[in-house]
């Protein structure tokens, strides 16, 4: 079979329970539900971090974030405007692998792996880029955040083309850019990474969607994501590309609203299931069985070797890759997870491990304090992590503790003061500068984003 076209749709802060096909009664998501009905949805799919920069870096490189120096960013959870660090130019992203295998590659939307010149998307395998280099709250806003944010830059490739764009219309502009890319005449296959702004706050949404939302601006943002999926799917069909296009839909981490992650416990920024277990849907007509479900433990790190194999690319053998080729799961040839253990990192702290149905927690942050905890859950019977079985399962605890110790030696654990033996450095530049600075004569369309009013 010819190499497939690939579209990866990655949302921002969308929770496990925010979609109709994952149980939402508040949000109407007919296009995404159709995607699931025509393909496979994964029930036990994880991102490698509960916040965006490490999650995205891990997904693009197929590695746990601390392995690539992406667990902690000079005392910040995520990258900020003008940060001196970013995705090391020595890292080889899935976009770079596919580009080298003859794919035309495009990123539309949020990047958040570094805004300095060596870290931008066009330096990491994307032929072209259109979008925001970091989160949509990292522009001038009132009330101010705990850093002095410059005007939010909208970029094309390496150039800032607008500052402080009106976010209510930005998703529509993203879809227009994606459709233009799909219509571009080509002989080679393409890889489109469509990285949504929604549902990260501030939530500025199209008025028409807000009027019919049953869940305020948040619900309107979810339904705008669904509209965008519908527009892209329609264009694929119109162009005759749907049959040989693999479409993947997921989210970078859990929602900041615990109710959006139901029935999971926790939220964004935590290693409870609600912070890292996400929706994942894959559709590829004639290759993935319609209406199928996969309950094996999988991860966005698996996109790296899987997409490389589908695209005829060579996975580098000079470095450790943590993801697995999950084609057997996608194509119904196996039901077994490739993971003997999946590890839960928050920044550079190893907080838990999953082995089969068992999940062991060993640490959490409570307010400003980090504490050791001892909690064990059977995720098959207790998806909400409500019944601690630690005291009654000493053999299971011992086995999982061995897995944790092996991981500490390999990747590290700041909580235990252990530096891993197989970690690579983050990228770093001297004399960093933000992409924009406030200019009193610039004709800003939006002077400030009002974060407080946009949460409704």
- Residues with a known catalytic role: 52, 112
Residue 249's beta-bridge partner residues?
Answer: 9, 281
CA-nearest of 32, 34, 36, 26 to 220 is 26
Residue 388's alpha-carbon distances to 251, 361, 370, in angstroms, are 28, 10, 20
Nearest alpha-carbon partner for 438 in 155, 98, 149: 149
Contacts 24+ apart (CB under 8 A), 418-422: 420/66, 420/67, 422/67, 422/320
Cα 170–chain centre separation: 19
Q: What is the radius of gyration, based on Cα positions, of the chain?
A: 21
Asked if 45 and 293 count as a contact pair (C-beta separation under 8 A), the reply is no
Q: What is the rounded CA–CA span in Å between residue 292 and residue 374?
A: 36
Task: Judge residue 328's burial from the number of C-beta atoms within 10 Å of its C-beta, 0-12 exposed, 13-18 middle, 19 or more buried.
Answer: middle
Alpha helices (H) along 263-346? 273-276, 303-310, 327-330
Q: How far apart are CA 203 and CA 173, in angstroms?
A: 16
- Output the CA angle 53-161-76, nearest 5 degrees: 20
């Amino acid at each position: 079979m010819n190499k497939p076209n690939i579209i990866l749709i990655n949302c921002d802060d969308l929770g496990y329970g925010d979609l109709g096909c994952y149980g939402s009664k508040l949000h109407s998501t007919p296009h995404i539900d159709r995607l699931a009905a025509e393909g496979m949805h994964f029930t036990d799919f994880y991102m490698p971090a509960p916040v965006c920069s490490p999650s995205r870096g891990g997904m693009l490189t197929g590695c746990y974030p601390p392995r690539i120096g992406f667990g902690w960013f000079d005392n910040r959870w995520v990258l900020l405007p003008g940060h001196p660090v970013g995705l090391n130019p020595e890292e080889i992203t899935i976009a770079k692998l596919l580009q080298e295998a003859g794919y035309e590659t495009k990123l539309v939307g949020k990047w958040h792996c570094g805004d300095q010149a060596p870290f931008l998307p066009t330096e990491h395998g994307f032929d072209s880029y259109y979008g925001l280099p970091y989160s949509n709250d990292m522009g001038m806003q009132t009330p101010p955040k705990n850093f002095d944010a410059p005007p939010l830059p909208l970029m094309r490739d390496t150039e800032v083309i607008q500052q402080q764009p009106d976010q209510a219309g930005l998703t529509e502009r993203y879809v227009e850019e994606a459709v233009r890319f799909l219509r571009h005449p080509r002989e080679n296959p393409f890889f489109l990474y469509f990285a949504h702004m929604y549902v990260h706050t501030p939530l500025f949404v199209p008025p028409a969607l807000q009027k019919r939302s049953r869940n305020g601006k948040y619900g309107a943002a979810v339904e705008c994501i669904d509209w965008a999926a519908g527009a892209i799917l329609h264009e694929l069909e119109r162009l005759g590309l749907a049959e040989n296009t693999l479409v993947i839909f997921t989210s970078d981490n859990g929602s900041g609203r615990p109710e959006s992650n139901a029935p999971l416990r926790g939220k964004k920024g935590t290693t409870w299931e609600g912070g890292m277990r996400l929706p994942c849907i894959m559709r590829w007509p004639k290759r993935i069985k319609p209406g199928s479900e996969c309950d094996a433990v999988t991860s966005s790190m698996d996109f790296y070797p899987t997409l490389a194999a589908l695209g005829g690319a060579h996975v580098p053998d000079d470095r450790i890759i943590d993801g697995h080729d999950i084609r057997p799961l996608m194509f119904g040839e196996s039901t077994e997870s490739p993971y003997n253990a999946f590890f839960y990192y928050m920044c550079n702290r190893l907080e838990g491990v999953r082995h089969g149905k068992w999940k062991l927690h060993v640490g959490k942050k409570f307010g400003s304090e980090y504490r050791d905890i001892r909690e064990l859950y059977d995720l098959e019977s207790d998806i909400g992590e409500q019944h601690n079985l630690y005291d009654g399962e000493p053999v299971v605890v011992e086995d999982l503790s061995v897995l944790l110790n092996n991981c500490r030696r390999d990747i590290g654990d700041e909580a235990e003061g252990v530096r891993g033996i197989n970690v690579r450095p983050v990228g770093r530049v001297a004399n960093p500068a933000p992409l924009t600075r406030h200019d009193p004569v610039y004709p800003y369309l939006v002077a400030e984003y009002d974060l407080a009013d946009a949460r409704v």
